[in-house]
Amino acid sequence: MSATATPTVLIDQDELAARIAALAQEIRHDFPTGQLHFICVLKGAFLFLGDLIRATSGHVSIDFMACSSYGAATSSSGEVRLSKDLDASIEGRDVIVIEDIVDTGLTLHYLQEILRARGPRSLRTACLLSKPSRRKIDVKVDYIGFTIEDKFVVGYGLDYAEQYRNLPFIGVLE
């Protein structure tokens, strides 16, 4: 794998847009009225958040958090550190965590634990991508965009060594 190779398209722009519109409808169907609070996990989920909120009707507020996991560039070590916390309290709110990809599940598990402890009224998770074959921990993801094979993907917010986030599609580095 290299940071200069051209990725091959796995999920194109039209597929992303259609699936994200469907996810937004599913979320609004589950919470027909009231304010939803979307928490974007930086950096990888920023484009997913942008498209998902524009496809979601009604009142939506947003906040951001960031965490880093120690370890190799393409796999998670399981040690997670919060590097940017939320600006606002989530107590009593209907929270949806917006994540780019669930791989081993360790990052998401950690985030869900700390968020749940802060007393939201409800806590759900939306992941654009899921690689179930890599799971190390059983983590609940309520809304999944696409289930993919064990391949390292980039684009549409996801990076390899901070490259490729600007690609408008999800691609595979080979």
Q: Which residues are catalytic?
A: 103
β partners of residue 110: none
**Residue in the structure block whose two tokens are 């997670």:** 80
Measured distance CA(6)–CA(25) in Å, rounded: 33
**Residue 136 Cα to chain centre, angstroms:** 18
Question: At residue 2, what is the residue type?
Answer: S
Judged by beta carbon, residue 42 or residue 86, the one nearer ligand IMP is 42
With CB cut-offs between 5 and 8 Å by kind, which of Mg ion, ligand IMP, none does residue 105 bind?
ligand IMP
Taking the complex as a whole, the smallest distance from the CB of residue 53 to ligand IMP amounts, in Å, to 19
Residues 88-107 binding ligand IMP (CB under 6 A) are 99-107
At a CB cut-off of 8 Å and minimum separation 6, what does 29 contact?
none
Q: In what order do the strands lie in the sheet with 36-42?
A: 80-84, 60-69, 36-42, 94-102, 122-130, 143-147
Taking the complex as a whole, the smallest distance from the CB of residue 99 to ligand IMP amounts, in Å, to 6
Taking the complex as a whole, the smallest distance from the CB of residue 164 to Mg ion amounts, in Å, to 14
β partners of residue 126: 98, 143
Binding site for Mg ion (CB under 5 A): 44, 100
With CB cut-offs between 5 and 8 Å by kind, which of Mg ion, ligand IMP, none does residue 157 bind?
none
Among 109, 100, 108, smallest CA distance to 154 is for 100
Judged by beta carbon, residue 60 or residue 106, the one nearer ligand IMP is 106
Q: Is 49 in the site for ligand IMP (CB under 6 A)?
A: no
Residues 113-172 binding ligand IMP (CB under 6 A) are 152-154, 158
Judged by beta carbon, residue 21 or residue 66, the one nearer Mg ion is 66
Q: Which residues of this chain interact with ligand IMP, rule CB under 6 A?
A: 44, 69, 76, 99-108, 152-154, 158
